Structure 1
Amino acid sequence: MSDTAPARHRHDFLAAAHDDNARRTRWVVALTAAMMVGEIAAGYWTGSMALLADGFHMATHAGALGLAALAYRYARKHRNDPRFSFGTGKIGDLAGFASALILGVFAIGIAVESTLRLIDPVRVDFASATLVAVLGLAVNIVSALLLMGGHHDHHLHDHGHDHAHGHDNNLRSAYFHVLADALTSLLAIVALLAGRYLGLGWMDPAMGIVGAIVIARWAWSLMRDTAAILLDTHDAPAAAAIRARVEAAGAEITDLHVWRVGPGARAAIVEVAGSACSAALREQLEGAPAIAHLTIGVR
């Protein structure tokens, strides 16, 4: 015998702040795109390759942020589409995984280019490049504040696996892209000032390598966490809480599956042996960690 959710049960597992996060992400996309256009235009106008390079690198981030904004829109539009068995709550994780790949490629590109410049230094227009880096950093700070304000948990900056299960990974990926831009701008400012006033031209590519390593770590962290969710990895802490409640009711679990279906929302399939009443078990599991969709089977 099995007890499943009624046919009218909705599979809307989007985050409570979904619309607010989407709006904030759109603002960041607009700011990044405007900065990108400005840098590319200034690069052509002044003939500065540094400005052009930074503008085109920002274009990759604008694309990734645009992907995050589209993911929010798609998830809301199709949240009740029956083709998605458990709703569209993981669309953001899919977009986050794609963004992590982009971040990883970006990090590799920076590392390669920086290494080549260490071997064969190029002339840098320190004054123009510093000005643009400062402007870019200002835009990134504003963007980061917008995204941080859209997250209800002050642990957004925590890259740990356990914390990631309660986060909107689409917003997290956008935040990482903004942080990557801010980091490269900050390191560039330090390196450019050292090159201009101390004659340490090698600092520019050296800082590029440092930035690439940090960005690669962010990319790996985001890729690891989103991949685990996309592959329906077993949520051990939530499963332990469910097991404790079921055993407290005197039932024996023969099969248990718990996985995430949206930001902070989990689905669970609980199969028990014996004469336990499924209604009683469901009542016992009320309040279990963010179980948004529960299926109980009694053998």
Structure 2
Amino acid sequence: MSAQAETFEHSHIFLGADHDRNARRVWFVIALTAVMMVIEIGAGTYYGSMALVADGWHMSTHASALLISAVAYLYARRQAHNPRFTFGTGKLGDLAGFASAIILMLIALLMAWESFLRITHPVPISFAQAIGVAVVGLLVNLASAWMLKDDNAHHGHSQGHYHHHEHHHHHDQGGHVHHGDHAHSTHASDNNMRAAYIHVIADALTSVLAIAALLFGSIYGWLWLDPLMGIVGGLIIAQWSWGLMKSSGRVLLDVVPQEADLQDEIRSALETGGERITDLHVWQVGPGHHAAIVALVTPQPESPAFYKAKLAPVTSLSHVTVEVTQSAAA
């Protein structure tokens, strides 16, 4: 595409900022976590420890979350200028998240059921080996947490989330406006960063629980303690999956976003004089990016650019279409 044509094109890359420099670190955390998770699940199965299996699968939840974000980022980059994605590829992470949440929910339920069976029919556990693997798992979690926290302190951005480096602010006669990077994008990234960090800390806690269950089991012969931790781990993963299903499902179904009551913000920004909004649609097109279609009636119509200028303070709006109709004179 020529430079001149690009001037009139709209960017539909509804992502964030500062991803590229963090990409290598994310992939390292993903690889480290994935390898450890496979070892824990394999060792837990071999040594008869459901607590270790639960810890491994719990580790897979944040590994998959990071992987989804990283892969979605790559795909979004590749498809960034594909016009068939009418609102860009920002929802890809939500689609992948919803799919992985369903898979992990099934795994969690199967794991809890298997653990329940083992309480009634105990299986011999190789305590020393299982404890050793759980300790290594804990160290990996702590190392991952340190890396995520270190990144947050330096850059204030989630390396797990897909981002962009566009700095456009387009207007056109058709009634569209496109903002580039926003303060809101940074805020969204901070939230994602915090979520990733909290998830790794939760992982570390399940590792501690697994170690405790195995230690007490080996000292006092409480074989039921290990499968009990398996049930607890299964329930934790099920709860995480359900939360992810709800949040990603809401985005996929274009439910009006709750953050900062965007509808109210838009109404208060536009309905200042004789203007009255007759139809308003707001939905999320990517992390920290929203689109809106506004139909308004006013006695003295102005150009769409006039109304879009009024919406400029609403930073999380990345794509706005305004329709203006003149009302009958009073």
Using structure 2 for the length normalisation, give the TM-score.
Answer: 0.73
Is 2:294–2:323's contact at 8 Å kept on the other side of the alignment?
A: yes
Tell me the alpha carbon deviations over residues 205-235 of structure 1, each in whole angstroms, 9 at most, x when there is no partner.
Answer: 1122122222211111111111101111113
Could you tell me whether the CA contact under 8 Å between 1:36 and 1:59 is conserved in 2?
yes
Name the SS for the 2:103 alignment partner.
helix
- Alpha carbons of 1:112 and 1:41: their partners in 2 closer, same or farther (altered >3 Å)? closer
Deviating more after overlay: 50-59 vs 214-223? 50-59
Match of 2:234 in 1: 212
Which residue matches 1:287?
313
* Corresponding residue SS for 1:197: helix
SS of corresponding position for 1:191:
helix
Range moving further from structure 2, 139-148 or 61-70: 61-70
Matching residue of 2:278: 254
Aligned mates of 1:133, 1:215 — CA distance in 2 = 18
Match of 2:301 among 276, 289, 293: 276
How far 1:97 sits from its partner (Å)?
Answer: 1.6
- Name 1:159's counterpart in structure 2: none
d(CA) in 1 for partners of 2:145 and 2:322? Answer: 43
- How many Å separate the matches in 2 of 1:42 and 1:215? 19
> 1:27–1:77: structure 2 CA closer, same or farther, 3 Å change rule?
same
Following superposition, the deviation at residue 98 of structure 1 comes to 2.2
2:138 corresponds in structure 1 to 137
Q: Closer, same or farther in 2 for the Cα pair 1:244/1:42, shift >3 Å? A: closer
Q: Which moved more, 1:84-93 or 1:25-34?
A: 25-34
2:178 equivalent in structure 1: none
Identity %: 48
Quick check: 1:95–1:170 contact (8 Å CA) kept in 2?
A: no
Q: Report the Cα distance in structure 1 between the residues aligned to 2:59 and 2:267, rounded to whole angstroms.
A: 48
Shift of 1:240: 0.7
Unmatched 5+ stretches in structure 2: 1-6, 161-186, 326-330
Cα 1:266–1:79, aligned 2, differ >3 Å: closer, same or farther? Answer: same
Alignment RMSD: 3.4
Is the alpha carbon distance of 1:268 and 1:71 closer, same or farther for their aligned partners in structure 2, counting shifts above 3 Å?
Answer: same
SS of residue in 1 equivalent to 2:134: helix
Matched, 1:221 2:246: no
Moved more, 171-180 or 228-237: 171-180
Q: Is the 8 A contact 1:22 1:73 kept in 2?
A: no
**Alignment correspondent of 1:238:** 262
- Show the 5 A alignment for 1:151-230: 152=156, 166=188, 178=200, 181-230=203-252
How many Å apart are 1:66 and its aligned residue?
4.0
Give the 3 Å change call, closer, same or farther, for CA 254–55 of structure 1 in structure 2: closer
Q: Gapped runs of 5+ residues in structure 1?
A: 1-5, 157-164
Report deviation, 1:245: 0.9
TM-score normalised by L of structure 1? 0.80
Tell me, in whole angstroms, the C-alpha distance in 1 between the residues paired with 2:150 and 2:91. 22
> Could you list the runs of 4 or more consecutive aligned residues of structure 1 that deviate by over 6 angstroms after TM superposition?
40-44, 168-177
User: Measured at CA, do residues 64 and 284 of structure 1 come closer, stay the same or move farther in structure 2, by a change above 3 Å?
Assistant: closer
Contact 1:268 1:293 in 2 (8 A): yes
Question: Taking structure 1 as reference, are residues 95 and 266 closer, same or farther at Cα in structure 2, changes over 3 Å only?
Answer: same
SS at match of 1:166: helix
Contact residue 105 and residue 242 of structure 2 kept, 8 A: yes
**Number of aligned pairs?**
283
Give, in angstroms, the shift of residue 172 of structure 1. Answer: 8.3
Alignment of 1:96 with 2:118, yes or no, is: no
Secondary structure of 2:319 counterpart: strand
Cα separation, 1, equivalents of 2:91 and 2:212: 39
Return the letter of the residue paired with 2:270.
V
> Match of 1:238, SS?
helix
SS of 2:84 mapped into structure 1: coil
Q: Distance in 2 between matches of 1:82 and 1:215?
A: 38
The residue matched to 2:93 in structure 1 has which SS? helix
Task: Write the distance in 2 (CA, Å) between the matches of 1:106 and 1:65.
Answer: 19
